[in-house]
Amino acid sequence: MTASLEGVHPVLMAKDVATSVQFYACLGFKLLFQDSLIKPSYAVMRREAAELHIQWQAPEQWSFAVDRPAYRFLVSDVDALFQEFSDRGGITDETVQKSPWSRPADTPWGTREFHLRDPGENSLQFYRPRTVEVIGGRPR
């Protein structure tokens, strides 16, 4: 019998877990678990098949922008999701990255995507592959 991977649940570091929980709730994630109602240090949130774990981390343990990972979410409709996040109040000056993908755009690597930063300064990238024309074995 072969074992299979059934999911991946990234752990995002947070300076303030409660603030991160509020941010992800604004993006439509539901709280599944929180270790404390008063000052949580760990929480689990889910939206459809995406499950995120949020863990408190002392600021001196990670150095933005050197050590912060990027989390990529494959989505069905990049533009519709961006609009939904905007309507919910999740797109703000604090959350949009100062990059060409702070709003939905086509990338040179064949995707349509936009990027946000959560309150813990983790990079969130929402993307969808575009249809790519292949000519002579090379994408164009």
Q: What is the pLDDT of residues 39-76, one digit of tens each?
A: 999 999 999 999 999 999 877 766 655 556 788 899 99
- Number of helices (H), then strands (E), in the chain: 2, 10
pLDDT at 140: 46
Q: Does a structural domain hold residue 21?
A: yes
Q: Does a structural domain hold residue 138?
A: no
pLDDT at 65: 57
Q: Which CATH number goes with the domain that contains 125?
A: 3.10.180.10
pTM for this model (two decimals): 0.75
Which stretches of the chain are DSSP H helices?
17-26, 78-88
- The number of distinct structural domains making up the chain is 1
The whole-angstrom separation of Cα 46 and Cα 52 is 6
pLDDT at 2: 72
Low-confidence ranges of the chain (pLDDT < 50): 139-140
The whole-angstrom separation of Cα 27 and Cα 22 is 9
Q: Does a structural domain hold residue 5?
A: no
**Paired tokens of 130:** 């575009």
Q: Does a structural domain hold residue 91?
A: yes
pLDDT at 134: 52
Q: Does a structural domain hold residue 80?
A: yes
pLDDT at 8: 77
Q: Does a structural domain hold residue 78?
A: yes
Q: Does a structural domain hold residue 3?
A: no
Q: How far is CA 28 from CA 21, 22, 48, 57, 88, in A?
A: 11, 10, 10, 24, 8
What is the residue range of 18's domain?
Answer: 11-58+68-132
